[in-house]
Amino acid sequence: MHLKLVGWLGVLALLVCSTGCGSPLVTAPPATVSHSMGSTVSPPLAEPTAAPVLPSPSSTPEPPLAVRVNGQPIYLADYERRLGQYEAALAAQGIDPGSAEGQEKLAQRRDWILNVMIEQVLTEQAAGAAGVIVTDEGVDAYLHDMIAEVGGDEAFEAMLEEWGQTREEAREELRVELIGGEMARRITDAVPETAEHVRARHILVDTMEKANHILAQLQASADFAALARAHSLDVSTRDNGGDLGFFPRGVLVAPEVERAAFDLQPGQFSGVVTSVLGYHIVQVVERDPARPLSEENRNILKERALAEWVEQLWLEADIQRFVETES
C-alpha cells in the first residue's frame, strides 16, 4: 500500500507532444495581459477566431455537426473520419471492426474520441487567448524530422495508409499537438522548484477499534515508530517506523493524511484519520518551509496542474453535443 503516487499518471491525450519541442513556436511580444494561470502572456498576433456566423435562410446550410465548442463547430464528417481511423487501426492489429470484439472496442472509444477532439479545440482556443501560434515552417520542419525518423517518404506514406490518414490530415494533427505541447510547457513551467514540505510518519490499520487502541497508547507516551513497526499495514513504511519521508502538498494518494500532516507541528500526532486505505494516525517529525522538490514529486505536481487546467477548460466551456456516443 503506497501512499505516494509514482511518476507521471500519463500525459493527457490533447497534450501528447513533448514539452521539449518548443522551437517551432512563435509567441507574441510580452504584454500586460494575464490569463487564468496567473502569468503574464501575450495577445494573439492574428485576429482571434470568431464564433461562426449562423447561415441565413438563403445561404448554404452548415454541414452536420458533432459538437459545438464555445461556438466553434466540430463537424460530423471529421468525427466520423476519426472513427474510421480507429477502425483502420483495429484492422492493422488484426481485429475485424465488424466482429463482436471490434464493435465492443469501437463502442468503448466513441465517447473518448469525441472528447479528445473537444479537448483539442479547447486547447487551441486557450492557446489563441495566450498568443500561442505555430508557424507553417515549424510544422513542416517537425514533419520532416518525423518522416526521416520512420525511414523516409515511402515508409511514412505506408504508415499513413495503415492509419487511414492523408498527409494533410497528419500535418494538421501535428500542428494541434505542437500547440498542445506548448500549452503543457507553459503550465508545467509554472510549477515551482521549491515548496513547503513536512516529514511525517503514519500507522495504518483496518478498523477504527484498532486505531483508537493505538491512539490511546500514544496518548500514554508509547513510541510511535515502535507501534508502527508492530501494527501498521503499510508494508512500504512499516519497517521504517511508518516514515513517509519529506513530501509537499499534493502528492499523497490519501489527501486526508496529507491534510492532517500539514496541520501538525513537529512532535505532534493526529487523531484517527479515515481514508480509502483505512484508518491512520499521523505524526509530524520535521517541517521545511522551502525544500527543493524531488523530480518525482515535481512531475506529480506538473501532471496535476495539467489535469486541473484541462478540468477548468471543461467547466468553463459551452459545449453542445449533436451525436450520441454512448452505447
Considering the domain architecture, whether residues 181 and 239 belong to the same structural domain is answered as no
**Torsions phi, psi of 11, nearest 5?**
-65, 140
Quote the longest CA-to-CA distance of the chain: 85
Q: Is this model's pTM higher than 0.75 or not?
A: no
Q: Is the pLDDT of residue 239 over 80?
A: yes
Cell 521549491 sits on residue: 194
Q: Which has more pLDDT, 21 or 224?
A: 224
Determine the structural domain holding residue 213 and report its residue range: 195-292
Has residue 218 been placed in a domain? yes
Has residue 266 been placed in a domain? yes
**217: nearest Cα among 283, 277, 285:** 283
What are 105-144's pLDDT values in tens digits? Answer: 999 999 999 999 999 999 999 999 999 988 999 999 999 9
Considering the domain architecture, whether residues 140 and 259 belong to the same structural domain is answered as no
Considering the domain architecture, whether residues 154 and 245 belong to the same structural domain is answered as no
Considering the domain architecture, whether residues 176 and 254 belong to the same structural domain is answered as no
Here the CATH number for the domain that contains residue 136 is 1.10.4030.10
Has residue 240 been placed in a domain? yes
* Cell, residue 4: 505516494
Considering the domain architecture, whether residues 204 and 185 belong to the same structural domain is answered as no
What are 4-51's pLDDT values in tens digits? Answer: 332 222 333 333 333 333 322 233 333 322 233 333 333 333 333 444
Has residue 302 been placed in a domain? no
Residue 100: count of CB within 10 angstroms of its CB: 8
